[in-house]
Chain A
Amino acid sequence: MNTIRQVFRSAKFVTGFVIFIAIILLTILFPLFITYDPLDVVGNGNFYPPGTYISQKDTIKANPYELRIALKQSNVGDSLKTDELDKIKEWLTQYGGMGKSEVQDADAESLIVMWTDKYNPSKRFRGMLASEQKYYKRLNQKLTELLTDKDIIIAEQDENNELKEKSKVKSSDFVNLKEISNKRTLVLGTDNFGRDVLRELVSATTTSLRIGLIAGVVATAIGLTLGLLAGYLGGFIDDLILFITNLFTVIPSFVLLILISYSVGQKQRGVGLVALIIGITSWTWTTRAVRSQVISLRNRDHVNLSKLSGHSSFKIIMTDILPYIASYVVMAFILQVSSGILSEAQLSMLGLGPATTSTATLGLMMNWAMLYSAHLNGSWWAYFPVLFMIAMISFSLNLMNTGLDQVFNPQLRD
């Protein structure tokens, strides 16, 4: 009890703990309020940017309110950027047959008048870049839209396929967002499949935490058992276990991880199995550390006393040795969880993680974001939150670990 109180007095531990608990709470609470399937496809396209999406049909059908406020872009000239105006000037002098002086000092309004007079979208200009032709076409489109100050007419098709005017939309018409029933806020936009990134991220965090915990438990259990046995029993068993441990230490565990995951095959590779594979490839350092600690404990007085009293080896290990290394084991466990999460992310980025259609994991999200080059076309929302989440998880775990270390390690205590 005292130790726990001490632990919670460490600022570092508390910070890490709070962040970690916050992440866990997020993964638990969020799905309670947002209930749709994390793998649901919302968008029909790649990487829709973050924002609130409201149904266009609903806004037309909704009750209009007339607001007398100054509208943005009420003036055509204002809504054009300077580089667009420059482009118009350039075109007018080069292709529109206007003199430089006429164009240079003209204001936006008169430039647009000249433009609409001269420009013909179906004409191709010799010597002009194809991309420029397309640019002017788009610019012209924008201008025509701006210039049509007329109301937009909503029409319906009757039985004879004829359009019948139903209502008009004026520029002073507004709708109240609350009255629109069909809307969806995509806080972090969508990914390459059109899935809601935020919802997916929460679900992926849950999966990753689960993988980390399973991997951590497995790795710590194996490492602890082997370390205790080797350290306490000594002799041949110590040699054997140490031999195996060294063998596994020498083979880079990530290569081993890749090989095992690859040979298991995609079909069997679920969340549990991936976690298990990560666990059984990352126990070696725990074993070595536990072993050396046990060796130093083995010859302490209280252990010898227990031996003399005729306690069984099992009881001695459980009551006289384990409590002394418990703090270390907890710290090792935390590190294993953190590295398990990172391992999954790395595995999934190589396409060796769980299947895309069945689960969301942080690594898979990164993998698909990279495959569809989100990092090249500015779709930061598809990969940055994932990176941030991975960083936050390992940061909080590491912080807790350092906090614990400060409490338990007398050399670090200040």
Chain B
Amino acid sequence: MKKKIQKMASLFLAAAVGMSILVECSASDASSVLASSESVISAETEGEEVLPGSTPRNETLYFAGQQWGTINDWNPLSSNSNNSMGVAQQDMARALVYEPMFLYNNLDGKLYPLLGKEWSWNDDQTEMTIKLNPDAKWSDGTPVTSEDVAYTFEVHKKYNTGFGIDYAAYIDTIVPKDSNTVVIKAKLGKDGKAVNPLKVLDYIPKVYVLQKAYIQNVEKRNNNQEDGVKTDKMEDFVSSGPYTAYYDDDQKVVLVRDDNYWGQADSMWGALPAPKYIAHPIYKDNSAGQIAFSKGEIDIAQMFITDIQKFWEEDNLPITTYLDEPPYGVGTMIPTCFYNTRISGLDQVAVRKAIAMAVDYDHIIATAMSNQSATFEQVPRSVMNTTDAEQALVDQDRLKDLQFGNDVEAAKKILDDAGITDHDGDGIREYDGKNLSFTAECPDGWTDWMAALEDVAKAGQNIGIDIQTNYPDTNTFTENYSTGNFEICINNATGSSVSCPWQRCMVLMYSGYADLKTNTLGNWSGFKNKEADEILAKIPYEQDQAKLKDYYTRLSEIYLTEVPSFALMYRPQAFYNVNESVWTNYPMNDDGNNIPPTVCTDGYGIAGLYQLQLVK
């Protein structure tokens, strides 16, 4: 009897040891889930002990997948703000708290009015005139004027912010014409033409307009010191957006609607956004967020979810995506595998092309992306993303013969023809007497990229090129690629902005980036091609669609022939998974409203907040 008990005990112990591995990784999930469900419960049982910052569930729109730590400031001039709900000046700026002049819509590639009502170029594209919406007001009730717009740019320039440095090269000044009209004067080159009209246009949907009076106040309290202004927390900020700060700690960030928001004027939205509060619980990782999302504690989850269709097909949950069928979203970003062409072996087009040819892209899309990307049969390779707006700018017929993928034999043949063969019989081909052996890297934890990289490594194995994968942490990875200290890496080619696809072509091919010491801008391949540079220089001045189409097609030809890098898959700007437990009427593909699936916060996607309804 005693023996039996002992036996049972040892069995239990052994099983427990095995289980501990699993528990180790899921324990943290459970605890954060617990934390979030607590807040929900407390919101429902009002009157009892109420947690700080808790809000009624049916007035709150919950997000996940955007904010990963306690927020550090509300400062749009800061270069290291992590406040992703409040301060996100990007190609499609997040317009919840601060607002840019225009909202970009990546579905049709057009700009929609916000603080700015309309914009127009003069004939030679040197001056852009912008009419502001006279109804626009700051949260302190004062009107948004041309002075504010002009001063914002001046401040960026004065304190050398990222935007200041970037745009000062293209914008000379912004001058107020009258209280509701500003003129952006482009910087002129020696030939009297604007340096780059596209970059001028790029400014207006990206950079927030700040209040002159408030910024002057911030400058004053920091004695006009650059460091002081850029690191000011700005907790007393004045902004023009529909939401403002409500509560934040290490568990969540909550924004509250400004019920005096100017946008309820008929000249703008004509109403207030539906949710009174916007909340973002801070989770440790995606799994924790995914559990909360499936339980309906999160309304919009911006995260990659494996086999998303199981939510509705098997679990019958009220969860949907922008499209009913794969790829479920709109692929606007292109995760791209960059070769370092400065390295012996990778300086050979044959090697680059052979690896790219041997990769099994269908497998990457089906497994690494869990079918959440269009295939390269649906959207063939070029320098474009999958939107109709961009595809209209390329002649796919001309690129037909340049397509590649999943063709190991052809890849081997290219290498054989180039004389890159295996001389010493170790199964790995040599170039210049040395084995072709490379390390391919991407940040640890970026699962879709990691899995895709494994497929690249496998492709190498199949054609006799040794490729090992490496997953450093994000900071190390950023340092590696920006200093050129890598062999093969994955990085994003610019998603969608008003200056795309030109901007993306720059990232893929512009030789001016190649020799930068620290390169965060693009062309990490270090690729140089004279013809590509010439075309890239011409595009910003070109307005004729037919000519642009020709330019972009030629760029695609160069790109697909020289293969300085190659696209692995298409990825949405933001993963847009919505749970209709509390809110409904989210922007969807077939609703005819032309609102992009940018999680109801970014660019013109914010229009989605005005059509949300509570589930009855």
Interface residues of A (CB under 8 A from B): 11-12, 15, 41, 44-47, 124, 127, 129-132, 134-135, 137-138, 192-194, 265-267, 342, 345-346, 349, 351, 355-357, 366, 368, 370-379, 383, 387-388, 390-391, 394-395, 398-399, 402
Residue of B nearest to A15 (CB): B7
Tell me the complex Cα distance, A211–B50, Å: 53
Tell me the complex Cα distance, A124–B451, Å: 38
Within 8 A of A (CB), among B375-424: none
- A373 in contact with B586 (CB, 8 Å): no
How many residues from B make CB contacts under 8 Å with A? 66
Q: Does B307 sit at the interface, judged by CB under 8 A?
A: yes
Tell me the complex Cα distance, A374–B294, Å: 15
Q: A129, A342, A388, A398: which contacts B21 (Cβ < 8 A)?
A: A342
Please indicate the chain B residues that have their CB under 8 angstroms from the CB of A391 in the complex: 14-15, 17-19
Please indicate the chain A residues that have their CB under 8 angstroms from the CB of B591 in the complex: 124
Q: B3, B14, B306: which contacts A395 (Cβ < 8 A)?
A: B14
Please indicate the chain B residues that have their CB under 8 angstroms from the CB of A368 in the complex: 451
Q: A135, A351, A376: which contacts B287 (Cβ < 8 A)?
A: A376
Please indicate the chain A residues that have their CB under 8 angstroms from the CB of B468 in the complex: 266-267, 355
Within 8 A of A (CB), among B276-325: 286-287, 290-291, 294, 305-307, 310, 312-314, 316-320, 324
Please indicate the chain A residues that have their CB under 8 angstroms from the CB of B578 in the complex: 130
Please indicate the chain B residues that have their CB under 8 angstroms from the CB of A11 in the complex: 3
Tell me the complex Cα distance, A366–B24, Å: 12
Q: Does B471 sit at the interface, judged by CB under 8 A?
A: yes
A-B contacts, 11 of them at CB < 8 A, read A12-B6, A44-B363, A130-B588, A135-B316, A372-B370, A376-B291, A377-B307, A378-B314, A391-B17, A394-B18, A402-B10
Contact with A along B441-484 (1 / 0, CB 8 A): 00011010011001001100100000011110000000000000
- Min Cβ gap A304→B in Å is 39
> Most chain-B CB neighbours within 10 Å: which of A135, A266, A383?
A266
- B320 in contact with A47 (CB, 8 Å): no
Tell me the complex Cα distance, A266–B450, Å: 14
Please indicate the chain A residues that have their CB under 8 angstroms from the CB of B15 in the complex: 391, 395
Q: Does B160 sit at the interface, judged by CB under 8 A?
A: no
Please indicate the chain A residues that have their CB under 8 angstroms from the CB of B450 in the complex: 371
Tell me the complex Cα distance, A99–B316, Å: 27
In the complex, the 6 A-B pairs of residues with the closest C-beta atoms, listed nearest first:
A395-B14, A391-B18, A131-B318, A266-B470, A390-B18, A371-B447
- A46 in contact with B306 (CB, 8 Å): yes
- A130 in contact with B19 (CB, 8 Å): no
Please indicate the chain B residues that have their CB under 8 angstroms from the CB of A131 in the complex: 312, 317-320, 580
Tell me the complex Cα distance, A33–B314, Å: 36
Q: Does B565 sit at the interface, judged by CB under 8 A?
A: no
- A372 in contact with B366 (CB, 8 Å): no
Tell me the complex Cα distance, A44–B371, Å: 10
Please indicate the chain B residues that have their CB under 8 angstroms from the CB of A377 in the complex: 306-307, 310
- A44 in contact with B366 (CB, 8 Å): yes
Q: Does B26 sit at the interface, judged by CB under 8 A?
A: yes
Q: Does B5 sit at the interface, judged by CB under 8 A?
A: no
Residue of A nearest to B466 (CB): A267
Please indicate the chain B residues that have their CB under 8 angstroms from the CB of A41 in the complex: 360, 363
Tell me the complex Cα distance, A3–B363, Å: 56
Tell me the complex Cα distance, A371–B451, Å: 10
- A376 in contact with B11 (CB, 8 Å): no
Tell me the complex Cα distance, A127–B584, Å: 8
Contact (A373, B306) CB under 8 Å given A193-B451, A395-B11? yes
- A351 in contact with B586 (CB, 8 Å): no
- Min Cβ gap B376→A in Å is 14
Residue of B nearest to A122 (CB): B590
- A366 in contact with B21 (CB, 8 Å): yes
Tell me the complex Cα distance, A75–B552, Å: 58
Interface residues of B (CB under 8 A from A): 3, 6-7, 10-11, 13-15, 17-19, 21-22, 24-26, 286-287, 290-291, 294, 305-307, 310, 312-314, 316-320, 324, 360, 362-363, 366-367, 370-371, 439, 444-445, 447, 450-451, 454, 457-458, 461, 468-471, 578, 580, 584-586, 588, 590-591, 613, 615-616
Tell me the complex Cα distance, A372–B454, Å: 14
Tell me the complex Cα distance, A267–B435, Å: 14
Please indicate the chain B residues that have their CB under 8 angstroms from the CB of A398 in the complex: 10, 13-14
- A46 in contact with B363 (CB, 8 Å): no
Residue of B nearest to A395 (CB): B14
- Min Cβ gap B246→A in Å is 28
Q: A194, A366, A372: which contacts B306 (Cβ < 8 A)?
A: A372
Tell me the complex Cα distance, A11–B6, Å: 12
Residue of B nearest to A398 (CB): B14
Tell me the complex Cα distance, A355–B305, Å: 24
Q: B312, B451, B585, B616: which contacts A134 (Cβ < 8 A)?
A: B312
Please indicate the chain A residues that have their CB under 8 angstroms from the CB of B306 in the complex: 46-47, 192, 372-374, 377
Please indicate the chain A residues that have their CB under 8 angstroms from the CB of B360 in the complex: 41
Please indicate the chain A residues that have their CB under 8 angstroms from the CB of B363 in the complex: 41, 44, 193-194
Please indicate the chain B residues that have their CB under 8 angstroms from the CB of A124 in the complex: 590-591
Please indicate the chain A residues that have their CB under 8 angstroms from the CB of B13 in the complex: 398
- B367 in contact with A387 (CB, 8 Å): no
Tell me the complex Cα distance, A377–B371, Å: 16
- Min Cβ gap A44→B in Å is 5
Please indicate the chain B residues that have their CB under 8 angstroms from the CB of A346 in the complex: 21, 24
- B451 in contact with A399 (CB, 8 Å): no
Please indicate the chain B residues that have their CB under 8 angstroms from the CB of A378 in the complex: 310, 314
> Most chain-A CB neighbours within 10 Å: which of B14, B286, B468, B578?
B14
- A349 in contact with B21 (CB, 8 Å): yes
- Min Cβ gap B379→A in Å is 18
- A45 in contact with B580 (CB, 8 Å): no
Please indicate the chain B residues that have their CB under 8 angstroms from the CB of A138 in the complex: 313
- Min Cβ gap A135→B in Å is 7
> Most chain-A CB neighbours within 10 Å: which of B458, B586, B591?
B458
Please indicate the chain A residues that have their CB under 8 angstroms from the CB of B451 in the complex: 192-193, 368, 371-372
Residue of B nearest to A390 (CB): B18
- A130 in contact with B21 (CB, 8 Å): no
- B458 in contact with A357 (CB, 8 Å): yes
Tell me the complex Cα distance, A377–B367, Å: 15
Please indicate the chain A residues that have their CB under 8 angstroms from the CB of B324 in the complex: 134, 137
Tell me the complex Cα distance, A370–B25, Å: 8
Residue of A nearest to B7 (CB): A12
